[in-house]
Amino acid sequence: MIVSFDELPGTARVWIYQADKTFGQADLEVIAEEANKFFDGWAAHGAPLKSSYKVFHDKFLVIAVDEQFNQASGCSIDASVGLVKTLEQKLGINFFDRSKVCFLVNDEIFESSLTEIKQLVEQGKIQSDTPTFNNLVPNKDELESSWIIPAEESWLKRYF
């Protein structure tokens, strides 16, 4: 059962998928079509899941489920991963490349490979206060408060 992302409580569980490219308008339309179809019928052991999705910065797909309504099961979570894999195929993108890190520089998304980070810090392109994305936040409250944090407050702190 799909609901507005904004309707979900702060405790709603989230999964963040970072794309390897920026979405264009056609990509966003495909995401909306596939996601609306999926979330309308998403269930765990036959129980509907109150869920939603939202695209942020034309780069991140966030899936959310209100587990106070019904809890997602392993099979239902696997089904949501299936949706993401379907989107990968239809859009020709990769949501599972964990070798890239995104930063917010001058209100623009800047993506770097893990192997470049030390050099970018040494060059001053990435600084301790450069906002970075913590894609491991567990719920909507933390998405809103702790998803974008200074690099020095993330696992990147070892570079400063």
What digits encode the pLDDT tens for the residues 103-132? 999 989 999 999 999 999 999 999 999 999
**87 and 106 together in one domain:** no
Which of 61, 91, 121 finishes a domain?
A: 91
Q: How many domains does the chain have?
A: 2
Residue with tokens 């893990």: 114
**83 and 104 together in one domain:** no
Q: How many contiguous H segments (helices) and E segments (strands) does the chain have?
A: 4, 9
- Helices 74-91, 25-41: crossing angle, 10 deg rounding: 160
Tell me what pLDDT residue 35 has: 97
Considering the chain, what is the average pLDDT of its residues? 96
Cα 144 to Cα 6, 75, 93, 137, distances in angstroms: 11, 27, 26, 9
Percent residues over pLDDT 70 in the chain = 100
pLDDT in tens, 6-50: 999 999 999 999 999 999 999 999 999 999 999 999 999 999 999
**59 and 130 together in one domain:** no
Cα 37 to Cα 34, 41, 140, 149, distances in angstroms: 5, 7, 22, 33
**107 and 74 together in one domain:** no
Short-list 13, 26, 159, CA closest to 76 = 13
**83 and 107 together in one domain:** no
Which of 37, 60, 91 finishes a domain?
A: 91
- The full length of the chain comes to 160
Average pLDDT for 141-146 = 98
Tell me what pLDDT residue 2 has: 95
**26 and 77 together in one domain:** yes
**72 and 105 together in one domain:** no
Tell me what pLDDT residue 39 has: 95
**85 and 104 together in one domain:** no
Q: Which domain holds residue 136?
A: 100-159
**87 and 122 together in one domain:** no
